[in-house]
Amino acid sequence: MASYYVRSAATGAANGTSWTDAYTTLVTALSGKAAGDIFYVAADHAETAASAKTISSPGTSTSPCYVYCVDHTGSVPPVAADLRTTASITTTGTFSITLNGTSASVGSTYVYGINFNSGTGAGAVALSIGGTLAVIILESCNLNILSTSASSNIALGYASSSSVSVRPNRTELINTNMSFGAVGQFVNIAGGDVIWKGGAISGSAPTALFSTSGSGGYTRLEGVDLSNMGAGKTIVEAHAVTRDYTLKNCKLGASVTVAATSAQYHYPRTTVQNSDSAGTNYRNERYTSCGVQTSETVVVRTGGASDGTTSVAYKITTSAANKWIMPFDAIPIAIWNGITASDVTATLEGVWNAAALPNNDDIWFDLGYMGSASSPQATFKTSSKATNLSTGAALTASTEAWDSLVTARANSTVYALGDVRKVASNSGRIFFCTTAGTSAGSEPAGYASAVDGGSVTDNTAVFRAGMRFKLAVTATSPQPQAAGYMYLYPKAAKVSSTFYIDPKVTLA
């Protein structure tokens, strides 16, 4: 393992042996070097070229190369106190920057504190990170597209055409920012796994941030500031690739569209965990072609799930693409079970806008639990029908209250289709507007006597009492044999329907 120095202002022998004799470009410094080598780049390094920059690292997964931006007036060799974030590598005109490896099997690299600036003017350019079978980690860097061409993009990962792997590499960004020069630009997930922890989007916020041209894998954002992606913007655009996106503890833009609807079954799948534009911590959502799960804070069960401050329910809206064998999969629910050697029944409560109870092939959950005393291998039970050829059965009716946070009906008021209201004369129930119109000057008597699924004509508007139901699965034959977490996997297959599910599990 050898160390080399890089500084654009150096005037010595350009052999990398000292700051005086430093290489003047990182491309030259890396050329012909070995896995595990270390490259110190001066904080005042400003490398600019009117040509494409391909920065190829000889690092491997077991012996990566290291590139650090450091204070060239500090310690020799540099120490942690010398780390800086001001070095830059820039291309002008229509020329791109690529950071990859020296072959299809190497290229693993850690880079700290470098600003990559790709292109100027109106020509299309790319800033590509991770173009080989490698692990590339950027920390405290900036990825900037200076070009104003809508065809320019930041490309992360590598799309392999071989059968070696569908996840050929890993690209990790730590406290690294991205900036764009035009709203038509985007991040192209070219393949492999992409992790982005900390950092922000700036410049011209893309109309659609994430697209893909490559293979499957997963993309996880954690602690990223996406707040300038607001109304009219989409974080994940529709594409036909089996890729998972997760946004965890991220700051979102107000009114941003999280994910566009894709035509491919189930994927791409986008999951939001504790991310929002405001100071809330209850928003947990999922988006697929089969449906959308969002966090509901009005239609909630009395005494149901809460984040400690805000009551919350799952709102599941399915698409027309669903089938029982290919349903919408909601975010799983975990609950600790300490009961062993006895039957345990897990129950979820729900409500929907319909005249009858849903069937157990419309909405259900699968239950995974520890049915073995000799290993943690899961046992599975379901509240749905047994096979695709079986006939679905109506779920059990419920009397749980769902009206605690719903707005009360008002006299002589215009209501839109889907509005939800409650009345004091029939507590516990909620009423969905099924025909838009104006309510009567006084409450019709039909509200007080309405039963679940029953309709009430309210002047020119019509409301229907929500149908409440239970989802239940008993862990039996075998009974739970070890204390541990039970996992509930809610699923919905009824096409073009909306269900409200309280994720607070009851065990009995």
Torsion of CA 215, 216, 218, 224, to 10 degrees: 40
Q: What is the pTM of this model?
A: 0.92
With vertex at residue 19, the alpha carbon angle to CA 38 and CA 142, rounded to the nearest 5 degrees, is 60
Which pLDDT score is estimated for 166? 42
Residue spans of the domains in the chain: they are: 328-398+468-507, 414-465
How do residues 307-347 score in pLDDT, each as one tens digit? 999 999 999 999 998 899 999 999 999 999 999 999 999 99
Burial class (CB in 10 A: 0-12, 13-18, 19+), 408: exposed
**Is 80 exceeded by the pLDDT of residue 103?**
no
| Type of residue found at 49 | A
Assess whether pLDDT exceeds 80 at residue 242: no
Contacts with 10 (C-beta within 8 Å, 6 or more apart), sequence order: 19, 20, 21, 22, 23, 24, 42
Give the pLDDT score at 27: 96
Going 274 to 268 to 148 to 44, the CA torsion angle's sign is: positive
In whole angstroms, what is the distance from residue 356 CA to residue 354 CA?
6
Q: Under a CB-based contact definition with an 8 Å cutoff, are residues 312 and 459 in contact?
A: no
Strand ranges inside 71-112, DSSP E: 87-91, 97-101, 109-112
What tokens does 140 get?
Answer: 């405290």
- pLDDT for res 335: 98
- Determine how many CB atoms are found less than 10 A away from the CB of residue 452: 20
DSSP 8-state class, residue 247 = E
Each residue's pLDDT tens digit, 278-307:
999 899 999 999 999 999 999 999 999 999
Half-sphere exposure of 223 (CA within 13 A, CB side): 9
Q: Which residues contact 177 (CB under 8 A, 6 or more apart)?
A: 141, 142, 143, 199, 200, 201, 202
pLDDT digits (tens, 9 = 90+) for 414-452: 999 999 999 999 999 999 999 999 999 999 999 999 999
- 328-398+468-507 folds as Jelly Rolls (2.60.120)
User: 66, 38 in Cβ contact below 8 A?
Assistant: yes
pLDDT at position 132 over 80 = no
Asked whether 137 and 109 are in contact (CB, 8 A), the reply is: yes
The pLDDT, as a whole number, for residue 61 is 84
Strand 420-421's sheet: what is its strand order? Answer: 420-421, 431-435, 461-465, 455-458
What's at 127, amino acid-wise? Answer: L
